[in-house]
């Protein structure tokens, strides 16, 4: 993954956080060296604890797992208003970073989801649909070795 | 009949009428109230009582919410008041009472004077008995539900592990053989991707199977099952569970192992969800003929007496129900800001009928 090494993700997310004023930005990447597909939060900024390092997500589990599996962006303007609000612990990064308003987009490579970019606020309602749209514009179609895109809506 | 004089008898009856806890109503042939005792006046709204006394038509219906028939809990079909010739020794009647809402009563309805067609309606408050009965029923049902759930989980878990996962595995092996069969370029890359997807699928099936019910519990026992589960928790939620045990891989009866495992699982899950901690301490020990499980955290805790559950509140309830299945005791101590300590003690009696058999 030479492309990944050349691109400074930490710097990139620091910049995103700075420019758009988020409380938290994180990137989850697939562990490619292993045969098993395991997602980890590799680069974060604005984090409250280092507990995120322990977390290894399976496909379909957690924010990253969900976005990874579906390849679709995910937006929660108010975490407490989510239908499964009581099961918020199923989104460990959201629970342990205390995010109240967040969104995530898939990062593609060779037409496969390889990573997930998460942004969030610790106050509810701050990441609106318009703000999320603006974020997607700001990121553009290229992010390091990855590109972002919208899957066709059926 | 004993030898009470006419006078004594009427005196006694009067006293009964005045001081009885049972509500007594006398009605004449037209359904008008002749008299009602103090207990009866107490349960009925003053407004409604006045209307009944004034003899307003169907005033009784203002307080009556129906009686229990074979078909319905509360019904007005073939009302006892309308069908006045029949004596009913006992039936259940619901009344809208003063300040207490709808209360069930055990009622009797009898004609005491065939000439005047006077009838008496007597009511006995059933709330207590009713509550006891409901609680008992609930308990029994919960136990059945727990058992049924556990059995069903076990079955599906086995099925997933033994047949579905095996099938996927053999397809995976076939695919790996394909990789060494003179293919290259795009085809090889696609095969690799498919292999990855299949492996993910296999992983997911295995996870599902373990989540439903760990085969480790049946095959290797409590310690192994707990260790696997805690490792999984650490991976998924970043929660560190510090587990110590002095069991030395000793095995217990299936039912006990299930109960201990599920209680431990639930307790740790609660800590994960609500305690806001990174570390949980679990100890498992056999002491004085008892199996002891202790789950401790140093989190935010909660007030045990004024407990308003954040979740469904079913978790703690379920833990109690489960421990009752094996005649153990559960101790939950917690204080706001001082962490939570959950202790389960299960007596290990030798001669207990084996109702659940793990070892296949």
Angle between helices A129-139 and A9-20 (to 10 degrees): 140
* A23 within 8 A of A99, measured Cβ to Cβ: yes
Q: Any idea what the Cα angle at residue B209 is, between residues B206 and B212, rounded to 5°? A: 150
Cβ contact (<8 Å) for A54 and B234? yes
DSSP alpha helices (H): ranges in chain A? 2-6, 9-20, 62-70, 92-97, 129-139
Give dist(CA B208, CA B201) in Å, integer.
10
Q: From chain B, pick out residues whose CB is under 8 angstroms from the CB of A49.
A: 278
DSSP 3-state assignment of B93? strand
Long-range Cβ contacts of B76-80 (<8 Å, 24+ apart): B80/B107, B80/B109
Give dist(CA B346, CA B259) in Å, integer.
9
Give the number of other CB atoms < 10 A from CB of residue B89: 8
Looking at CA atoms only, how far is residue B233 from chain A in angstroms?
9
Cβ contact (<8 Å) for A89 and B203? no
Q: With pLDDT > 70 as the criterion, what percentage of chain B qualifies?
A: 93
DSSP B218-279: HHT-HHHHHHHHHHHHHHHH--EEEEEE-STT----HHHHHHHHHHHHHHHHHIIIII--SE
Cβ contact (<8 Å) for A61 and B236? yes
Q: With pLDDT > 90 as the criterion, what percentage of chain A qualifies?
A: 0
Q: Is the pLDDT of residue A43 over 60?
A: yes
* A82 within 8 A of A59, measured Cβ to Cβ: no
Residue B44 token pair: 């009925």
Search chain B and give the residue with CA nearest A57: B236
Pick the closest to residue B302 from B329, B332, B268 (CA basis): B332
* Interface contact B196, partner A, CB < 8 A: yes
Q: From chain A, pick out residues whose CB is under 8 angstroms from the CB of B273.
A: 89
* A24 within 8 A of A47, measured Cβ to Cβ: yes
Q: From chain B, pick out residues whose CB is under 8 angstroms from the CB of A86.
A: 310-312
Burial B13-45 (b: 16+ CB within 10 A, else e): eeeebeeeebbbbbbeeebebeebbebbeebbe
Q: Is the pLDDT of residue B351 over 70?
A: no
Residue B99 token pair: 């300040």
Query: What pLDDT sits at residue B280?
Result: 93
ipTM > 0.90 for the complex: no
Give me chain B's average pLDDT, please.
84
Q: Counting Cβ atoms within 10 Å, is residue B111 exposed (0-12), middle (13-18) or buried (19+)?
A: middle
Cβ contact (<8 Å) for A112 and B193? yes
Residue B198 token pair: 């299949």
Q: From chain A, pick out residues whose CB is under 8 angstroms from the CB of B203.
A: 36-37, 58
Cβ contact (<8 Å) for A92 and B238? yes
Question: Which residues lie closer than 8 Å to B343 by C-beta, 6 or more apart?
Answer: B292, B293, B294, B330, B331, B332, B333
* Interface contact B240, partner A, CB < 8 A: yes
Looking at CA atoms only, how far is residue A95 from chain B in angstroms?
9
Q: By mean pLDDT, which of A1-10, A13-22, A42-51 is the weakest?
A: A1-10
Beta strand pairing call for A74-76 and A101-109: antiparallel
Give dist(CA A45, CA A28) in Å, integer.
12
pLDDT band at B346 (very low <50, low <70, confident <90, very high): very high
Cβ contact (<8 Å) for B235 and A37? no
* A92 within 8 A of A126, measured Cβ to Cβ: no
Helix (H) or strand (E) holding B282: strand B279-287
DSSP B36-83: E-HHHHHHS-HHHHHHHHTT-TTGGGGTEEEE--SS-SSB-TT-TTTS
Instruction: Tell me the count of A-B CB pairs closer than 8 A.
Output: 46
Question: Which residues lie closer than 8 Å to B227 by C-beta, 6 or more apart?
Answer: B243
**Residue B241 Ramachandran class (φ > 0 left, ψ -120 to 50 alpha, else beta):** beta
For residues A59-77, give the mean pLDDT. Answer: 83
* A24 within 8 A of A99, measured Cβ to Cβ: yes
Looking at CA atoms only, how far is residue A104 from chain B in angstroms?
19
Pick the closest to residue B108 from B23, B35, B15 (CA basis): B23
User: Which of A70-84, B30-44, B201-215 holds the top average pLDDT?
Assistant: B201-215
Per-residue pLDDT tens digits for B236-288: 888 899 999 988 888 888 889 999 999 999 999 888 888 888 899 999 999 88
Beta strand pairing call for A39-45 and A56-57: antiparallel
Give how far Cα B301 sits from Cα of B266, B270, B304, B305, Å. 16, 11, 9, 12
Residue A90 token pair: 């199923």
Q: From chain B, pick out residues whose CB is under 8 angstroms from the CB of A112.
A: 193
Per-residue pLDDT tens digits for B307-317: 666 666 677 87
Q: From chain B, pick out residues whose CB is under 8 angstroms from the CB of A58.
A: 203-204, 207, 236
Cβ contact (<8 Å) for B203 and A58? yes
Higher confidence at residue A83 or residue B128?
B128
Residue A36 token pair: 């098993």
Compute the radius of gyration of chain B from its Cα atoms.
33
Q: By mean pLDDT, which of B77-81, B180-184, B251-255 is the weakest?
A: B77-81
Pick the closest to residue A22 from A99, A133, A107 (CA basis): A99
Residue B71 token pair: 């078909």
Cβ contact (<8 Å) for A86 and B311? yes
Per-residue pLDDT tens digits for A91-126: 888 888 888 888 999 888 877 788 889 998 988 888
pLDDT band at B84 (very low <50, low <70, confident <90, very high): low
Q: Which stretches of chain A sit within 8 Å of chain B by CB? A: 35-37, 49, 51-62, 86, 89, 92, 96, 112
CA atoms within 13 A on the CB side of B82: 7
Query: What pLDDT sits at residue B152?
Result: 93
Cβ contact (<8 Å) for B199 and A57? no
pTM for the structure as a whole: 0.67
* Interface contact B311, partner A, CB < 8 A: yes
């Amino acid at each position: 993954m030479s492309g990944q090494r050349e691109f400074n993700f930490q710097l990139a997310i620091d910049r995103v956080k700075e420019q758009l004023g988020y409380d938290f930005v994180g990137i989850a990447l697939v562990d490619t060296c292993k045969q098993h597909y395991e997602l980890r939060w590799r680069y974060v900024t604005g984090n409250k604890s280092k507990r995120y390092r322990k977390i290894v997500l399976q496909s379909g589990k957690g924010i990253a797992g969900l976005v990874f599996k579906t390849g679709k962006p995910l937006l929660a303007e108010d975490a407490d208003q989510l239908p499964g609000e009581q099961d918020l612990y199923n989104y460990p990064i959201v629970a342990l970073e205390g995010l109240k308003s967040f969104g995530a987009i898939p990062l593609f490579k060779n037409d496969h989801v390889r990573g997930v970019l998460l942004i969030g606020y610790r106050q509810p309602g701050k990441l609106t649909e318009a703000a999320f749209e603006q974020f997607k514009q700001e990121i553009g179609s290229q992010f390091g070795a990855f590109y972002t895109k919208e899957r066709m809506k059926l | 009949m004993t030898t009470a004089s006419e006078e004594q008898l009427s005196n006694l009856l009067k006293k009964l009428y005045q001081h009885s806890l049972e509500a007594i109503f006398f009605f004449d042939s037209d359904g008008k109230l002749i008299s009602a005792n103090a207990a009866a006046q107490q349960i009925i709204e003053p407004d409604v009582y006045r209307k009944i006394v004034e003899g307003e038509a169907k005033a009784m219906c203002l307080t009556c919410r129906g009686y229990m028939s074979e078909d319905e809990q509360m019904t007005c079909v073939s009302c006892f008041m309308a069908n006045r010739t029949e004596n009913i020794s006992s039936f259940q009647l619901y009344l809208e009472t003063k300040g207490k809402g709808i209360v069930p009563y055990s009622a009797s309805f009898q004609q005491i004077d065939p000439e005047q067609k006077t009838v008496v309606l007597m009511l006995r408050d059933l709330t207590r008995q009713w509550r006891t009965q409901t609680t008992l029923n609930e308990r029994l049902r919960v136990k059945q539900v727990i058992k049924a759930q556990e059995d069903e989980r076990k079955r599906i878990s086995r099925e997933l592990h033994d047949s579905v996962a095996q099938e996927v595995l053999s397809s995976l092996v076939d695919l790996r053989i394909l990789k060494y069969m003179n293919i290259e370029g795009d085809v090889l890359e696609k095969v690799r991707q498919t292999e990855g997807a299949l492996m993910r699928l296999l992983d997911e099936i295995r996870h599902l199977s373990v989540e439903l019910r760990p085969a480790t519990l049946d095959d290797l026992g409590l310690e192994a099952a707990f260790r696997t589960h805690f490792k999984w928790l650490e991976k998924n939620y970043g929660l560190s569970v510090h587990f110590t045990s002095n069991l030395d891989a000793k095995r217990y009866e299936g039912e006990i192992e299930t109960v201990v495992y599920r209680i431990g699982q639930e307790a740790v899950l609660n800590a994960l969800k609500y305690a806001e901690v990174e570390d949980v301490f679990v100890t498992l020990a056999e002491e004085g003929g008892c199996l002891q499980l202790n789950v401790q955290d140093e989190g935010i805790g909660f007030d045990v007496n004024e407990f308003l559950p954040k979740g469904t509140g079913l978790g703690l309830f379920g833990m109690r129900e489960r421990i009752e299945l094996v005649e153990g005791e559960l101790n939950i101590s917690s204080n706001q800001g001082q962490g939570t300590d959950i202790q389960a003690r299960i007596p290990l009696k030798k001669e207990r009928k084996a109702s659940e058999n793990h070892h296949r």
